[in-house]
Amino acid sequence: MYKNIIPNLISFDTVLNRINGFSFAENFNFFKKVSKPEIFHYKIEIKKNIFIPRDYDFRNGFYFKKDDNWYYERFFFGISLKLRFDIKNKIFYFNKNYSYIPFEIGGICPVGKHISDLINMDLFFNGYNIFRGCAFLYKGKVFCLIAPGFNGKTSFMCEMIKNGAKYIAEDILIINNDKKNVYPSGCFKKNFGRSINKKLFKNIQKNILSESIAYDYLFLIENFTTSVDKNNQIESKNINNFLPVCSLFFISNNFIRSILSEKNNFLEFFKKIEDIKNNLNFKYIKIKDFNFKKIL
Same domain, 110 and 134: no
Q: Is residue 28 part of a domain?
A: yes
| Whole-prediction pTM | 0.91
Last residue of a domain, one of 90, 125, 160: 125
Q: Is residue 201 part of a domain?
A: yes
Cβ neighbors of 225 (< 8 A, separation 6 or more) are 288, 289, 290
Same domain, 142 and 289: yes
pLDDT at residue number 199 = 63
Which residue(s) pair with 286 in the sheet?
A: 222
CB neighbours (10 Å) of residue 128? 23
Q: How far apart are CA 215 and CA 175, in angstroms?
A: 9
Q: How far apart are CA 138 and CA 47, in angstroms?
A: 45
Same domain, 117 and 199: no
pLDDT at residue number 213 = 97
Q: Is residue 106 part of a domain?
A: yes
Same domain, 117 and 135: no
Same domain, 18 and 38: yes
The CATH number linked to 211 is 3.40.50.300
pLDDT at residue number 191 = 46
Same domain, 44 and 172: no
Same domain, 26 and 166: no
pLDDT at residue number 197 = 61
Containing domain of residue 24, as a range? 3-125
Q: How far apart are CA 93 and CA 49, in angstroms?
A: 10
Same domain, 119 and 136: no
Same domain, 113 and 184: no
Same domain, 102 and 165: no
Same domain, 206 and 171: yes
Alpha carbon separation from 155 to 15, 140, 149, 170 (Å, rounded):
34, 21, 12, 11
Q: Is residue 49 part of a domain?
A: yes
Q: Which residues of the chain have pLDDT under 50?
A: 191-192
pLDDT at residue number 119 = 98
3-class SS at 292? coil
Same domain, 48 and 154: no
Q: Return the HEC string of 138-164.
A: ECCEEEEEECCCCCCHHHHHHHHHHCC
Cβ neighbors of 44 (< 8 A, separation 6 or more) are 12, 13, 14, 16, 19, 91, 92, 115
Domain total in the chain: 2
Cβ neighbors of 88 (< 8 A, separation 6 or more) are 68
CB distance 153 to 169 below 8 Å: no
Taking the CA atoms of 166, 167, 169 and 170 in sequence, report the sign of the dihedral they define.
positive
